[in-house]
Structure 1
Amino acid sequence: MRNSVAFAISLLVTVLALGLAWLLDDGTQRIAGLPLLPALALFAFMVQWAVYVPSFLGRTEHYYDLAGSLTYASVILLAAVLGTPDARGWVIAALVLVWCGRLGSFLFARVKRSGKDGRFDDIKPHWGRFLMAWTFQGLWVFMTLLAALIAVTGPAAAGWDAWASVGLSVWAAGFAIEAVADRQKSAFRADPANRGDFIRHGLWAWSRHPNYFGEITLWTGIAIMATPAMSGWQWLGWASPLFVFWLLNRVSGIPMLEKRADATWGGQPAYEAYKARTPVLFPRPPGR
């Protein structure tokens, strides 16, 4: 892809995200002359672009995941401070901070330990394509946070209700699955005896990507919690978990990892048997 095309895509993505934010904003609060939701969306993109510049000059992706996590934290904190969250909104903000703190530190440590992230090998030398990756991270932050931002910045919902309790339970289950899966894989990779092999035990015997299943589940929990705060166009806040599912299942998550795994272990009897008996995403008890 040419740099000019990648730049045009980055511009289009930014405009579409800002347009969606403008559509969903309730118009009750403004910051720097902008409605609150568009201002928060623009802030998410601007943080990515600010970190992109030194990263491109240094040809490094080391701060990509860390920048994403810090943007999540910054956006949700700004939303809580500038909005009028009720108890539901404050709990949602706290859950987002817990999630991004754990995942961001985990991903940053993993990149520093391995020395690089293979996703960026082909695009780091090209300013437009590398910029597009950072711009899409801004989109990822805003779209994933969409339901949370509606709940945190909007008027108080109907107090703590069944939606909040059920959503919190779903979030906790997803968070636990993601954290356990990440820990299991880290421990597997840290054992020299497993060098060159693939993980197939623990949660990884139930799903080939249990961490992604946990990620989708926890954002579904956030959307459930935020549901009573939605009205009119704000029902599009449910695009949040759908976007996470689409991104991980069709774009940057599972397809890339499956392709890499097939290139590494494809044709090996143990790997082919593992693929045949283990679902890609949604867990199923092993042995069935």
Structure 2
Amino acid sequence: MSLLPALGLNFGLLVIIMVALWLISVRIRDVSFIDAFWAYGMAIMASASFLQADNPETLAYTIWVLTAAWGIRLGTHLFLRWRKEGVDPRYKKIMGRAMEKQGMSFAKAALLKAWALQIPLLFLVCLPAQLGILLAGANGLSLVSIVGAIIALVGIGFETIGDMQLKAFKANPANKGKVLDSGLWKFTRHPNYFGDFCAWWGIWLAAAPLGWPVWLAVIGPLFLSFTLMKWSGAPLLEKSLKQNRPDYADYIKRTSGFFPMPPKKHASN
């Protein structure tokens, strides 16, 4: 199938799924599970692309497996966390502001402030994977693609380990109100976000040898990087943690904000 119709089908599928999930969120009056679908949606877009690909070979399989593994792992982690913890305070605040200050109904706020916004952003961030799978054809793995796949695997592994460490830390009642500063969290305040960063830059690099459409799709990992480091990722999370964790300010002084680095030994001096 040609490129534009395939991408159009992917986008249409994404819209249909998002509308269905919006209706569910209205029924349960909670949009928090949107974070889980952000990851699942990437896996769905990659899988839809793979099903439309002509004679997929090693490169297409590699990009599909990397994207699906990242999306299913993270989506399941976030979904189970939502089932356990309930409404996310961030979304509760966003929805409350829209309803109280802008006079929106819950349904309208959920559509405009959550689901509708996610459609183009998810599609854009996932574009390198979609293009890579659709354009790969019978291509095998070049050296650049191998390097990209390794970076993506490192990111998936880094994020997985970081999430496991945080889950174990939270499971111990003695750690309530404390800051996790061991394991990967000793070297970066956001191992999970750094893992996302590596995964999607790796996927883009794996597809990059296919030419200019993928080169233009660099906007996907660029936007994701901006989101994680400067917009709705680390900044929003840290704002909340500084208010609720007394030790977090000192943790910031000694621990890298994003890229893993050895901790500073004399932050208090």
User: TM-score range, shorter-chain basis?
Assistant: 0.7 to 0.9
| Alpha-carbon separation, structure 2, partners of 1:149 and 1:221 | 14
SS at match of 1:93: helix
Task: Give matches, 1:270-281, under 5 Å.
Answer: 270-281=247-258
Residue number in structure 2 paired with 1:210: 191
Equivalent-residue separation in structure 2 for 1:225 and 1:253 (angstroms): 25
> Aligned runs of 1:186-265 on 2, under 5 Å?
186-231=167-212, 233-265=213-245
Q: Does the Cα contact within 8 Å between 1:158 and 1:228 map onto a contact in 2?
A: no
Separation of aligned partners in 2, 1:45 and 1:205? 40
Q: 1:122 is paired with a residue of what secondary structure?
A: helix
1:13-52 matches, within 5 Å, as 29=2, 35-52=5-22
2:75 matched to 1:95? no
8 Å CA contact 1:188–1:199 kept in 2: the answer is yes
8 Å CA contact 2:31, 2:110 repeated in 1: no
Secondary structure of residue in 2 paired with 1:121 = helix
| 1:234 Cα offset (Å) | 4.0
Q: Secondary structure at the match of 1:95?
A: helix
TM-score (structure 1 length as normaliser) = 0.82
What is residue 81 of structure 1 aligned with on the other side?
Answer: 51
SS for the counterpart of 2:133 is helix
Taking structure 1 as reference, are residues 247 and 42 closer, same or farther at Cα in structure 2, changes over 3 Å only? farther
- Determine the structure 1 residue equivalent to 2:33: 63
Aligned residue for 1:148, secondary structure, equals helix
Higher mean C-alpha displacement, 58-67 vs 200-209:
58-67
**1:281 aligns to what SS in structure 2?**
coil
- Pairs aligned (count): 254
Structure 2 Cα separation of the partners of residues 285 and 171 of structure 1: 22
Contact 1:29/1:83, CA 8 A, preserved across alignment: no
- Answer whether contact 2:227 2:233 (CA < 8 A) is retained: yes
Q: Give the alignment of 1:103-252 within 5 angstroms.
A: 103-124=74-95, 126-131=106-111, 132-156=113-137, 158-231=139-212, 233-252=213-232
> Is the 8 Å Cα contact of residues 178 and 215 (structure 1) preserved in structure 2?
yes
Over the aligned positions, Cα root-mean-square deviation in angstroms equals: 1.9
Is the 8 Å Cα contact of residues 256 and 263 (structure 2) preserved in structure 1?
no
Supply the distance in 2 between the matched residues of 1:62 and 1:247 (Cα, whole angstroms).
Answer: 18
**Partner amino acid for 1:152?**
I
Change (3 A) 1:257 1:283: same
Segments of structure 1 that go 5 or more residues without pairing to the other structure are: 1-27
Shift of 1:56: 1.6
In the TM superposition, residue 71 of structure 1 has moved relative to its aligned partner by 2.4
Q: CA deviation at 1:119?
A: 1.7
TM-score (norm 2): 0.87
* Structure 2 stretches lacking a partner, 5+ long: 100-105
- Most deviating of 74-83 and 150-159: 150-159
Identity of aligned residues (%): 31
Deviation at 1:157, TM superposition (A): 6.6
How far has the Cα of 1:158 moved from its partner? 4.7
Amino acid in structure 2 at the alignment position of 1:278:
T
Please give the alpha-carbon distance, in whole angstroms, between the structure 2 residues aligned to 1:75 and 1:134.
16
- The 2-side partners of 1:250 and 1:223 are apart by 21
One-letter amino acid matched to 1:246: F
- How much does 1:155 deviate? 4.9
Runs of 4+ in 1 over 4 A off after TM superposition: none
Partner in structure 1 of residue 103 of structure 2: none
Please state how far the C-alpha of 1:260 moved relative to its aligned partner: 0.2
Structure 1 position 204, deviation (Å): 0.9
Whole-Å separation in 2 of the counterparts to 1:165 and 1:146? 19
Q: Does the residue aligned with 2:137 lie in a helix, a strand or coil?
A: coil
2:39 is aligned with what amino acid?
A: S
